[in-house]
Structure 1
Amino acid sequence: MTHFYETQMGHRFFNGQLPALIHALENIAEALSGPIPADKLPQMNDTDILQELYFGTYEPDLFKRSEKISSLDQQVIQEESSLLSLLDPITAELFETYQAAVSARNSAVAEQAYKAGFQLAVDLLLSGRLQPASGNRQTGGEHHVSD
């Protein structure tokens, strides 16, 4: 009587298929031991985000005016008024042209930073590396990047 491991099919199974199967199981075990990919984001209960995105009115809390920013805005306005009162009309016009150029540059830099940050956040979420901190899933709490 011939045993399975002695047959040509047995040799293929034990020398090729079985090691491949073991390797596949090891890969599955390794993948399952890593971080679980995020599949659901916290709910936003107080807003209809899709409508706000469509109409261009969505403003995340991150970009809403804070007391500190409002205070700095007031300081900028006061300093600008003081400076403009000392300038002759031609120099004042040059200064305003300069301000417009700086503002356009700063907007482009902010837009580029926003796009880069958004892309990074999406990449981290899809890869499962950005996970809600425990206990903060529904409150929109801080997030961390896993190792």
Structure 2
Amino acid sequence: MSPEYAADGIFSMKSDVFSFGVILLEMLSRKKNRGFRHPDHNHNLLGHAWIRWIQDKPLELINKTFCDSCNISEVIRSLHVGLLCVQRVPEDRPNMSSVVLMLGSDVALPPPKQPGFYTERSVPESPSRTLLCSKNAFSTTLIEPR
């Protein structure tokens, strides 16, 4: 779900581009964005991909099966396009026709900006002792005649 839709309920073609970028990153890493865990940090998959990109270590995100059987430059290009698709500001994201062009040719790609939902989650220190559920703070008032 794109940041603008999650925060403000605004949906556009760029929301679909964001979702496509998430799927592309999930395919390359063979990990799901939801529930992603890494021992070095508490970022989601988008945050992890961004960290690896700015550290110039994109191959650490890519699943090893891709590295063994594919053209590495094409896989890194796909990662680059995925990061362009998940940028925070919708105007910074390419449209889908540009994405198709970027994936199918050698056109120069702009540098990606920080993705939307690049946040660090708060993870309980000891999940075995912490109950992971919401607190029901709902109350009702019954109006009765006298």
TM-score (norm 2): 0.21
For the pair shown, which has the larger CA radius of gyration, 1 or 2?
Answer: 1
Query: Quick check: which one's helix share is greater?
Result: 1
Query: Quick check: which one's strand share is greater?
Result: 1
